[in-house]
Structure 1
Amino acid sequence: MEKRKLEINEENVRLDKFVMQEMPNLSRTLIQEYIKEGHILVNGKNEKASYKIKMNDDIEVTIPDNKDMDVLPEDIPLDIVYEDQDVIVINKPSGMIVHPSAGIYSGTLVNALLYHCKDLSGINGVNRPGIVHRIDKETSGLLMVAKNDKAHQSLSEQLKEHSVTRRYVALVHGVIPHTHGKVNAPIGRDVNDRQKMSVTKNNSKEAITNFTVLERYKDMSLIECRLETGRTHQIRVHMSYIGYPVYGDPKYGKKKDDQSHGQFLHAKKLGFIHPTTGEYLEFECPLPDYFQAKLDELKGE
């Protein structure tokens, strides 16, 4: 059973609509079903879907355990970069969701992992076995997965200590004049669009992104990013905030972009201390074909 308390930043919104904004993976039909069944409570009470929320309301959503049983192994091909008895490193394609959530129980990386191996850590429950960290659905690249609880605890601690090496490559709009940059701007939920994040002082957390310009084109730049924090959509929000949105980004980019592959953002490098041997391992994967083809096109302009 998964429980979540929702932060309220606006009033006079229908309860079902507000929950859908906060938890976009839930359909409105499912939310209304949860409300009727008492899985969504306001101040500990069962309210109607049409209830208008107030700033001081306490809203708690409970995802029933029986929904977890729908997560099944699926024979989905995996690009495995490294694997041993403790860890798997996957090169995730753009378009694949990392783990199931309410309303989404098929086609995820977890479904593929459950088919590939039976030994995954159980720290994050049956919906997220082995998942130590995530990358966005439309972001491609390297992801580490724990095959047992000991490995999971070790990798999670390394993430908390910021000792994991993670480098992302992104194609952004605009020609960035300086070679290095640092964006230090807090990120929180966008008050105007609950499915987006934004730079804000309200209910936000510290977010720091470092970037280096790798190539400059006619009206775009290729950059490498290093994160000091790991906020939702961090690179996408920060680069849009400073006026260089990621190409192809459906949420924070330009509508004229080719969005068939989502944002051109790739987790290219991943390094960590092996949970058992203590050896430092580092992996790197090439850009997806569509990403490289776009760069070749830009070079030819």
Structure 2
Amino acid sequence: MSLHSNKNNLQVLYEDNHIIVVNKRAGDIVQGDKTGDKPLSEIIKNYLKDKYNKPGNVYLGVVHRLDRPTTGIVLFAKTSKALPRLNKLFKDKDAKKTYWAIVKNKPQKDADTLIHWMKRNPKQNKSYAHTNEVPDSKKAVLNYRMLKSLTNYHVLEIDLETGRHHQIRSQLSAIGSPIKGDLKYGFDRSNKDGSIHLHARKLEFMHPVKKERIQITAPLPKDPLWDAC
């Protein structure tokens, strides 16, 4: 994996009394898992503890997650007042999430809405996209459009209407356009740093306390392909 975040190199995109938004690196995990690696949530707590010289425990609420090899925007709540409001915002689909993905195989259409029925296999940590409803599946909807064609790859912008497990990765693979580096979903080779070329580029939401619209854009990772975008 690429260089992980730590409290000294954390890429903070926005911060106020109630929320903090960071640009996640590939390899960072948002919450603790069986690997035992230090999660981004703990790194941010350490950052806040040092920055504000806070004694004792620092409050931080996880609002949503990104897959480990994915980069981009992750939003956290700094107060117990903000967390349930942000959770409701995401549950009610009042947060607009936009992703950029780099694929080798150009989709048949330059813009389209993809609708699948996703079925998750927990043992494989993988989700399968079906064209028709199957038992225990959930409807998944995304909209994509072509942003740019590079020499050997194509850049897509994706707006999520639903937030299913591995949704973008699985749906793009289902139309024959797996994301660069995503071995799990059919790309032919992995990226050297363990990343995949999927980036949570923009997030737009209503501030949970100030009640004003917030728009955040995450800079792209330093990488020859992203640089070409």
On the 8 A contact 2:182/2:189 being kept in 1, the answer is no
Cα displacement string for residues 213-271 of structure 1 (whole angstroms, at most 9, x for unaligned residues): 00123543100001111011100000000100001113113233434242100001011
Distance 1:180 1:264 in 2: 19
Give the alignment partner of residue 98 of structure 1, picking from 27, 30, 34: 30
2:125 counterpart letter in structure 1: Q
**Separation in structure 2 between the aligned mates of residue 253 and residue 289 of structure 1, nearest angstrom:** 24
Q: Which of 216, 222, 225 does residue 294 from structure 1 map onto?
A: 225
* CA–CA distance in structure 1, aligned partners of residues 21 and 196 of structure 2: 22
CA distance in 2, matches of 1:203, 1:259: 35
Q: Tell me how far apart the structure 1 counterparts of residues 216 and 162 of structure 2 sit (CA, whole Å).
A: 20
SS at match of 2:124: coil
Aligned AA (1:168): Y
Larger radius of gyration: 1
Secondary structure at the counterpart of residue 43 of structure 2: helix
The 1-side partners of 2:192 and 2:117 are apart by 27
Supply the RMSD in Å over aligned alpha carbons.
2.1
TM (norm. structure 2) is 0.85
Query: What is the TM-score when the length of structure 1 is the normalising length?
Result: 0.66
Find 1:160's aligned residue among 91, 99, 121: 91
Aligned residues: 213
CA distance in 2, matches of 1:144, 1:295: 22
Higher relative contact order (CA 8 A, sep 6+): 2
Gaps (5+ residues) in structure 2? 1-5, 49-56
Cα contact 2:22–2:73 (8 A) shared by 1? yes
Structure 1 segment 35-74 matched on structure 2, within 5 A: none
Higher helix share: 1
In 2 relative to 1, CA 151–295 (structure 1 residues): closer, same or farther, beyond 3 Å?
A: closer
- The answer as to 2:127 corresponding to 1:194 is no
Whole-Å separation in 2 of the counterparts to 1:211 and 1:119: 39
Matched, 1:243 2:176: yes
More strand by share: 2
* Paired letter, 2:199: H
Question: In structure 2, what is the equivalent of residue 231 of structure 1?
Answer: 164
Counterpart in the other structure of 1:45: none
Could you tell me which residue of structure 2 aligns to residue 180 of structure 1? 111
Q: Residue 154 and residue 221 in structure 1: after superposition, are their counterparts in 2 closer, same or farther (change >3 A)?
A: same
Measure the CA separation in 1 of the matches of 2:10 and 2:183.
25
Q: Structure 2: how far apart are the matches of 1:266 and 1:194?
A: 23
Residue in 2 that maps onto 1:134: 65
Shift of 1:75: 4.3
Is 1:77 the equivalent of 2:9?
yes
2:144 aligned partner: 211
